[in-house]
Amino acid sequence: MQLSASQRSAHHGREAPRTGTRGRVSIAAAVIVGSLALSACGSSQSGSQQASATTQAPQSGGALTYAVDKTQLTLDPAVSAQSVTALIDRNIFDSLVVQTGPSSFGPWLATRWTTSPDGKTYTFHLRRGVTFHDGTPFTAAAVKASLDHVVDPKTASQYAASLLPTYEGSKVIAPDQVQIRLSAPFRPLLQALSTAYLGIQSPKALALPVGKYAPVGTGPFKYGSWVNKKNVTLNRAASYASAPSNAKHTGAAYLDRLNFQLISEDQTRYGALTSNQVQGIAAVPPSDVASLKSSSSAQVLSVPQPGNSYSLYFQVKSGPLADVRVRKALSAAIDVKTLIKTVYFGQFPAATNPLGPTTAYHDASAGQELQGFDLATAKRLLDEAGWTTVNSSGYRTKDGKQLTVEWPTLAVNESASDNTLGQGIVANAKAAGIDLRRPSLDVGAYIDAVKKTKYSVIDAGGGRADPDILRFLYGAKQTFLTGGGNTSLVASPQLDGWLNDGLVSSEPTKLAADYSAAQKYILSNAFQLPLHDNVSIAGFSKTVKGVASDVSGYPLFYSAWLDD
């Protein structure tokens, strides 16, 4: 899912959240706990202005309006690939398990679980006495119905189905016991099950025709209304008693109502928060983060997101980038650090690794294999690769052919900042004599270009919170046409060995060694040029307390409350 990764980045990385380097270590620690209080965030950033807030008792009541920058096409998490759908649905649906750290999971709707020795059968023991918002009891049958719905071709899942690649079926053992059978071991299953995309839905609601779909889960808020392109309103589920094991409280949510209001224009969304017309906003523009942080009435929730860093992926099978020297030359031509710092106002850390630092088995030392910025090296590498002559436009040529590199981008994913970064990269490449072309395409044309391999560079980032994203991006079998994200078209038995090991192994030291080798191999072969780590940046009014953040960086509203 190159594409997918790219899209997801758009969603993950850009859409809701985006950015920020602040207090990375302390925030990362907080995220591992899985519930990052805004107050904790505030204090790590600017002293103890919020310290007293943590001791205050939460108050129930009130409505919180959170302005999002993109709108969902559906609220069915099994269908949508949009992070805004996941953001909203997280409040409606509970999952079987909760991700509590880069590679740790806790009970949620499942109280405990076991894995068969061959890694192909998972047995989940379910919480009893939970009911869906429509009154249907939560049982093993609901788990089966939800997962079967995800993989049903009629559902036309854009993302969730890719989280269950080897799903064979579910078996109801007892009302409170369900068995998930896989055709091949899939280590990231728990991580997949912890996402809102695989949230457990009411079988009764799923039985309705697609035009009548309404999201019905067991979560802390129930679906109220959706006015297309305007807002989604959720109401508190008063009898909620199935909070995840790492939540800050149990029982019903504090807020009476939760509104997700669409304000797609960045400046309007920002102004709506600073003028207190909404209590929170997604995707604070990087240029506005500093002024929001210094504001007396607002605070910033900035959380690093795990997954693949936003990167340029080089297509190594055909075209000029098939030569590793040209790939390294292109890497050496681009001053990533300066560009990222300037374009994103210091809110995103420049990346040196295929995986974000909060991803399990991220190896910081792999960055040493990366070909860093050095214009002289870039020119020398191009000379060595035979691109020795320079034409009148200043571009390198070989046998009369200009060194032209195609980099199609997906218009709907691009923020203004991304576009600026892209232009900076093109300018950097030109200084080294590389003609980097960057057409902006609509979805159909983009898919077409990828399908027909009419590209040498693809930008993507922000995939799922598991190092298995590397297999998705580099597995020889994970080409775009098979639903994968290997747009680099890398086919390396060595890399496949490590990544397939990572898929089935459950031995942490083995996993660490495998993923470390993979990260180093990817960088030393210049398969990709990491640009920046993904950070989710949300803004909140200071009256909002208790907002947590999940491992993927999304704000969680279950324990949120308003301090009037």
Partner 1 sequence: MHYRRWVVRRLWLGILVIWGAATTSFVALQLLPGNPALVIAGGGNNYPSEATLRAVERTYGFDKSIVTQYLTFLGRLLRGDFGDSYQLHQPVGSILSSQAAASAELAAGGAIIGALVGVAVALATAGRPRAAGAARCLELLAVSTPGFWIGLVLLSLFSFDLHLFPVIGNDGVSSLVLPWITLALPVAGSTSLVMREEMEQALVQPFALTVRARGVSESRLRSRHLLKHTAPPVLTLSSWIVGQLFGGVVVIEQVFARDGLGQTLVAAVEGRDLPVVTGVVVFVAVVFVLVNFVVDGLYLAVDPRLRRQPA
Binding map of partner 1 across residues 158-197, x = CB under 8 A, - = no contact: xx-xx-----------------------------------
DSSP class of 160? G
Binding test (CB under 8 A) with partner 1, winner from 130, 196, 278, 490:
278
**Residue 506 in the binding site for partner 1 (CB under 8 A):** no
**Residue 63 in the binding site for partner 1 (CB under 8 A):** no
Q: Is 57 exposed, middle or buried (0-12, 13-18, 19+ CB in 10 A)?
A: exposed
Query: Hey, is 111 helix, strand or coil?
Result: strand
Q: State the nearest-atom distance from the C-beta of 442 to partner 1, in Å.
A: 6
Binding map of partner 1 across residues 228-267, x = CB under 8 A, - = no contact: xxx------------------------------xxxxx-x
Q: Could you tell me whether strands 221-227 and 167-174 are parallel, antiparallel, or unpaired per DSSP bridges?
A: unpaired
**Residue 294 in the binding site for partner 1 (CB under 8 A):** no
Q: State the nearest-atom distance from the C-beta of 552 to partner 1, in Å.
A: 16
For partner 1, the closer of residues 340 and 450 by Cβ is: 450
For partner 1, the closer of residues 229 and 296 by Cβ is: 229
Separation CA 185–CA 118 (nearest Å): 7
Q: Which helix (H) or strand (E) holds 290?
A: helix 286-293
| Residue (of 227, 250, 230, 249) closest to 240 by Cα position | 250
Separation CA 549–CA 553 (nearest Å): 6
For partner 1, the closer of residues 383 and 442 by Cβ is: 442
Number of residues that bind partner 1 (CB under 8 A): 57
Q: State the nearest-atom distance from the C-beta of 2 to partner 1, in Å.
A: 9
**Residue 483 in the binding site for partner 1 (CB under 8 A):** yes
**Residue 272 in the binding site for partner 1 (CB under 8 A):** yes
- Map the footprint of partner 1 across residues 192-211, applying CB under 8 A: 210-211
Residue appearing with tokens 């009548």: 212
For partner 1, the closer of residues 484 and 530 by Cβ is: 484
For partner 1, the closer of residues 265 and 507 by Cβ is: 265
Separation CA 564–CA 60 (nearest Å): 11
CA angle 10, 12, 17 (to 5 degrees): 105
Q: Which residues pair with 562 in a beta bridge?
A: 544
**Residue 295 in the binding site for partner 1 (CB under 8 A):** no
| Residue (of 417, 266, 287, 426) closest to 345 by Cα position | 287
**Residue 307 in the binding site for partner 1 (CB under 8 A):** no
Q: Which residues contact 497 (CB under 8 A, 6 or more apart)?
A: none
- The tokens for 288 are 């506005």
For partner 1, the closer of residues 382 and 410 by Cβ is: 410
Give start and end residues of each alpha helix (H) in 385-526: 416-431, 443-451, 469-474, 493-504, 508-524
DSSP class of 138? P
Separation CA 3–CA 12 (nearest Å): 13
Q: Assess contact for 160 and 78: CB atoms under 8 A.
A: yes
Binding test (CB under 8 A) with partner 1, winner from 19, 35, 65, 146:
65
Count of residues in the chain: 564
Q: State the nearest-atom distance from the C-beta of 8 to partner 1, in Å.
A: 7
Q: State the nearest-atom distance from the C-beta of 548 to partner 1, in Å.
A: 25
Q: State the nearest-atom distance from the C-beta of 171 to partner 1, in Å.
A: 23
Q: Which helix (H) or strand (E) holds 5?
A: helix 2-8
Binding test (CB under 8 A) with partner 1, winner from 81, 243, 330, 535:
81
**Residue 274 in the binding site for partner 1 (CB under 8 A):** yes
Binding map of partner 1 across residues 128-157, x = CB under 8 A, - = no contact: -------------------------xx-xx
Give backbone dihedrals phi and psi of 362, rounded to 5 degrees, phi first: -65, 135
Q: How many CB atoms lie within 10 A of CB 360?
A: 23
Q: Which residues pair with 460 in a beta bridge?
A: 311
Interaxial angle between packed helices 38-46 and 24-33, expressed in degrees from 0 to 180 and rounded to the nearest 10: 160
Q: State the nearest-atom distance from the C-beta of 157 to partner 1, in Å.
A: 7
**Interface segment toward partner 1; rule CB under 8 A; list 200-208, 273-281, 293-301, 538-546:** 273-281
Separation CA 471–CA 467 (nearest Å): 8
Separation CA 559–CA 564 (nearest Å): 16
Query: Hey, is 232 helix, strand or coil?
Result: strand
**Residue 126 in the binding site for partner 1 (CB under 8 A):** no
**Residue 485 in the binding site for partner 1 (CB under 8 A):** yes
Binding map of partner 1 across residues 428-467, x = CB under 8 A, - = no contact: --------------xxxxxxx-------------------
Q: Which helix (H) or strand (E) holds 167?
A: strand 167-174
**Residue 291 in the binding site for partner 1 (CB under 8 A):** no
**Residue 296 in the binding site for partner 1 (CB under 8 A):** no
Q: How many CB atoms lie within 10 A of CB 59?
A: 12
**Interface segment toward partner 1; rule CB under 8 A; list 131-139, 274-282, 346-354, 524-532:** 274-282
Query: Hey, is 284 helix, strand or coil?
Result: coil
**Residue 481 in the binding site for partner 1 (CB under 8 A):** yes
For partner 1, the closer of residues 21 and 308 by Cβ is: 308
**Could you give the C-alpha distances from 332 to 200, 310, 343, 396, in angstroms and in order?**
47, 17, 19, 15
**Residue 62 in the binding site for partner 1 (CB under 8 A):** no
Binding test (CB under 8 A) with partner 1, winner from 183, 239, 268, 338:
268
For partner 1, the closer of residues 7 and 359 by Cβ is: 7
- The tokens for 69 are 């920058």
For partner 1, the closer of residues 97 and 273 by Cβ is: 273
**Residue 280 in the binding site for partner 1 (CB under 8 A):** no
Where on the chain is the footprint of partner 1 (CB under 8 A)?
1, 3-4, 6-8, 65, 67, 71, 73-74, 81, 153-154, 156-159, 161-162, 210-211, 213, 227-230, 261-265, 267-269, 271-272, 274-275, 277-278, 410, 412-413, 442-448, 480-485
